Amino acid sequence: MSERPEIDSSGPQLVYVQVADHLAGRIERGELAPGSRLPPERELAAFYGVAYDTVRRATSLLRERGLIVTVHGRGTFVAER
């Protein structure tokens, strides 16, 4: 899963933004290839040590940016292109 990032819930950066940025970095560096599936949201929550709700906010951001595509019941995928 790559390195466990430091998520600072006390700092100025919002937690869900930190999670979104970390995932975005992995996508942009190609660590997560286009078309590949991300770990389940609840797994991401456990990995980052944050709540499900927080991961939802993060993936919501990335969806808006067009970086990922989510399919109900299947998973979340790195967008093609």
Partner DNA sequence: ATGCATTTGTCCGTATGTATG
Partner DNA sequence: TCATACATACGGACAAATGCA
**Which CA distances in Å does 14 have to 28, 34, 54, 64, 81?**
21, 27, 10, 17, 28
Site of tokens 């951001």: 61
Of the two residues 54 and 67, which places its CB atom closer to DNA in the complex? 54
Of the two residues 25 and 58, which places its CB atom closer to DNA in the complex? 58
Give residues 3-62 in contact with DNA (rule: CB under 7 A): 9, 14-17, 38, 40-43, 49-54, 56-57, 59
Of the two residues 1 and 51, which places its CB atom closer to DNA in the complex? 51
Tokens linked to 20? 């979104």
Phi, psi of 3 (to 5 degrees): -85, 145
Which residues of the shown chain bind DNA in the complex (CB under 7 A)? 9, 14-17, 38, 40-43, 49-54, 56-57, 59, 70-76
